[in-house]
Structure 1
Amino acid sequence: MTRPAIYLDHNAASPLLPAARAAMVEALELVGNPSSVHGHGRALRGLIDTARGQVARLAGAERGQVVFTGSATEALTQAIVAGTKTFNSDGVLLTAGEHAAVLSAASATGLPITRIGLDRDGRIDLAQLRAALVAAEGNLLVAVHWVNNETGVVQPMPEINALVGPTPHTLVVDAVQAFGRIPLDFAASAPDMMAVSAHKIGGPAGVGALLVKSHADTVRLIPGGGQELGRRGGTESAALIAGFGAAAAANNYDADAMRALVERVETGLRRVAPEVVIFGAGAERVGNVVDFAVPGVASATAMMALDLAGISVSSGSACSSGKVGPSHVLAAMGVPPGLAGCALRVSFGWNSTAEEADAFLAAYETILLRQRARRGEAA
């Protein structure tokens, strides 16, 4: 099967870094169980300990605060489902634009859920958050994404930390899209728990981590046999974890280069389609993603045409069983359903180039010209 030539969906998963691949191959050459006390087991344990330090450094965490999981979804589920039980939470407070993993975990708690609205650019309504915290009866678990996976909008974490940090409420942060792109300082910041993932930074899929403060060490979803200091049961995959650590150590995210690619695409889109809407354009964005819509050009149609042209993009989150449908994030931002149905997400990463950005623009312009020709519009 011939693979598409151009990959512009790094927010879904970034290609494996060479350093991560090498670390995984090295780990796969070893045999044993990392929990065994003999030499073979200790060798695998050493790889995991090295990776724990590498992930901790990129997250601004202490080594012992890193709990390896099977994915960021698992990490968020542990933080929210197990966290509400551990801390006897009376409800869950989250933003209306959270990732599906957070929304599903919140529903699974069976507790009352309060949703905080977003403004038209995707920023959390801080006044509404403040009011909800003041009005809360009992303890809440507050779940907030740092960077939205669809729009790239960066939430005002210093303000959120200042509002939630001094309270008795539990703060869980989805930092999956922030990890490796924004400096994190988990150890010195307010969140009680924070989720990160490997495959967004050029590591392998199938491994994530939950960062936990010491008072959250008893938050457990999978008890198992005592692995991860009892915080997540199940034999660790040394190969996946080694790849995660190597990707974290090799991370050299170039914010300026990413921003230049985004500006290149946005400028080109405005040239070929002045009516284009860039979602989150008025807010701070992480800088590697363009979430946009051209009215009248359905996302399903555009994605199919781009795929035939060998260009992979997305219409939003990749975590919806392959479905192409309206985005709840855009709905929370007040975007009309018709316009939301035209949304496309182009996201860049460590191996993206200006030539790829230009190829996308050329292919998308061709799609626009075809659409206009069918409607009898002037080019």
Structure 2
Amino acid sequence: MIYLDEAATTPVKREVLEAMWPYLGPDFGNPSSHHEVGESARRAIEQARADIAQALGARASEITFTSGGTESDNAATKGIALAAPRGRRVIVSAIEHPAVLESAEFLGRLGHEVTVLDVDHRGMVQPESLTAALRDDTTLVSIQYANNEVGTIQQIETLSRIAAERGVPFHTDAVQAAGWLDLDVTRLGIQAMSISGHKLGAPKGIGILYVARGTRLEPLIHGGGQESGRRSGTENVAAAVGMAAALRLAGGANDEVVARRDAFIDRVLAEVPGSILTGDRHHRLPGSASFVFPGTNGETILLELEAHGVVCSSGSACAAGSDEPSHVLTAMGLPAEVAQTAVRFTFGRTTTADDLDTAATELIRAVGVVSGRGARPS
């Protein structure tokens, strides 16, 4: 099997499992307990927090552990908007993850005004559109760092600077960016950031939310006051330790991965008639290649590929099973019937050039079969 769906989830790294193991066994304590068993767990989670803060160029007190990217997005979007005194208006982009878009819709039901920024055909938010949208009563801007479906990387430094000039907190969903792009919060100029562990080699069920000191946040989960009151509930110590290990192991951008990605894209565009690359050709995640194949059906292509050992997706795993076309692709100007032909390939550093060459060969065959241009093998 060739697994090309790492934007959905990645395998847990061995080093991460080894770091977690003591806290799944002998060091099992509750970090809120005031005895040595609990204190041992407390030391582990605070060391994990410090390590993550160092990786992000942040303070340890600015890191909150959550259950994953969805919770972090909800906590940032709702929490900042509900706590901020500036006004009742939020700005998001049209291609955000549903965790942000639906949080914004929820705020709209509470009486907030929600402004949705359009994107261009590459999935890019234009800085001038954000400038035009900002008002004195804007309480939050949330724009993702890199898109989960098409891989387009936003100009976060530029966009956050525009928001900062008006004193507006800026949140970015960095779930897909983590492990590939620079996450230094000072350089990015952001006040909040979401990361999910299972996108970079940690287990599912752990995430982090960075919130800059001085940024007000209304907690979504109330209770025992854990995580400095920002997220009550007994912490998942083992997963937090795993999250820190995964960030330490993350290698950032990789020229070899980019070269393999570009060779794969070039071959598909050259050998699959009518194929269209989605997202920005160059400002995209190193391990992301996504296409539409007009006149076909994306789900049928996926079935053909899986039958021949290539596992990928039609887009966000969170929308799997939906009959609706991708909101990302339609926001980029693609007709609904074309958006429904999407196929996404996402891969990591261990994916070889041979893997991608085989995937391209199988894709060429599969599109031919689905479109009627090729013969199904007997």
| TM-score interval (norm. to shorter) | over 0.9
Deviations 1:331-373 (A, max 9, x none): 1110122221111110011322222212211211221332354
Which of residues 4, 10, 14 in structure 1 aligns to 2:6?
10
Aligned to 1:371: 370
Structure 1: distance between partners of 2:126 and 2:32: 46
Deviation at 1:99, TM superposition (A): 0.7
Aligned to 2:170: 171
- Report the 3-state secondary structure (helix = DSSP H, G, I; strand = E; otherwise coil) of the residue aligned with 1:92: strand
- Is the CA contact 2:44–2:241 (under 8 Å) kept in the aligned structure 1? yes
Equivalences, count? 370
Deviation at 1:104, TM superposition (A): 0.8
- Is the CA contact 1:192–1:216 (under 8 Å) kept in the aligned structure 2? yes
Q: In the TM superposition, what are the counterparts of 1:267-306 in structure 2 within 5 Å? A: 267-282=266-281, 284-306=283-305
Equivalent position amino acid for 2:272 in 1 = A
Structure 1: distance between partners of 2:142 and 2:280: 24
1:21 and 2:17 correspond: yes
Deviation at 1:118, TM superposition (A): 0.4
1:92 and 2:93 correspond: no
- Report the 3-state secondary structure (helix = DSSP H, G, I; strand = E; otherwise coil) of the residue aligned with 2:319: coil
- Is the CA contact 1:33–1:41 (under 8 Å) kept in the aligned structure 2? yes
- Report the 3-state secondary structure (helix = DSSP H, G, I; strand = E; otherwise coil) of the residue aligned with 2:348: coil
- Is the CA contact 1:59–1:179 (under 8 Å) kept in the aligned structure 2? no
Deviation at 1:224, TM superposition (A): 1.7
Structure 2: distance between partners of 1:148 and 1:373: 32
TM-score normalised by structure 2 residue count: 0.93
Deviations 1:88-146 (A, max 9, x none): 4411111111111100111111222111110111110222211111xx25233111101
- Report the 3-state secondary structure (helix = DSSP H, G, I; strand = E; otherwise coil) of the residue aligned with 2:317: coil
Equivalent position amino acid for 1:44 in 2 = A
Structure 2: distance between partners of 1:304 and 1:86: 46
Aligned to 1:114: 115
- Report the 3-state secondary structure (helix = DSSP H, G, I; strand = E; otherwise coil) of the residue aligned with 2:90: strand
Q: In the TM superposition, what are the counterparts of 1:243-258 in structure 2 within 5 Å? A: 243-258=242-257
- Is the CA contact 1:121–1:283 (under 8 Å) kept in the aligned structure 2? no
Deviations 1:319-342 (A, max 9, x none): 125436411111111012222111
- Report the 3-state secondary structure (helix = DSSP H, G, I; strand = E; otherwise coil) of the residue aligned with 1:214: coil
Structure 2: distance between partners of 1:321 and 1:284: 26
- Is the CA contact 1:153–1:285 (under 8 Å) kept in the aligned structure 2? yes
Which of residues 41, 66, 70 in structure 1 aligns to 2:67?
70
CA gap of 1:269–1:282, structure 2 versus 1, over 3 A, is: closer
Q: 303-312 or 72-81: which moved more? A: 303-312
Deviation at 1:287, TM superposition (A): 1.8
Structure 2: distance between partners of 1:286 and 1:375: 32
Structure 2: distance between partners of 1:342 and 1:197: 28
CA gap of 1:261–1:325, structure 2 versus 1, over 3 A, is: farther
Deviation at 1:165, TM superposition (A): 0.9
Structure 1: distance between partners of 2:317 and 2:227: 29
- Is the CA contact 1:217–1:231 (under 8 Å) kept in the aligned structure 2? no
Equivalent position amino acid for 1:24 in 2 = M
Structure 2: distance between partners of 1:40 and 1:50: 16
Aligned to 1:200: 199
- Report the 3-state secondary structure (helix = DSSP H, G, I; strand = E; otherwise coil) of the residue aligned with 1:329: helix
Identity %: 33
Structure 2: distance between partners of 1:24 and 1:322: 33
Deviations 1:69-100 (A, max 9, x none): 01111111111112111104411111111111
1:34 and 2:35 correspond: no
Aligned to 2:40: 43
Deviations 1:265-294 (A, max 9, x none): 112202321421111244511221001112
Structure 1: distance between partners of 2:89 and 2:56: 28
Unmatched 5+ residue regions in structure 2? Answer: none
Equivalent position amino acid for 1:85 in 2 = L
- Is the CA contact 1:58–1:180 (under 8 Å) kept in the aligned structure 2? no
Structure 1: distance between partners of 2:312 and 2:50: 33
Over the residues paired in the alignment, what is the CA RMSD in angstroms? 1.8
Aligned to 1:123: 124
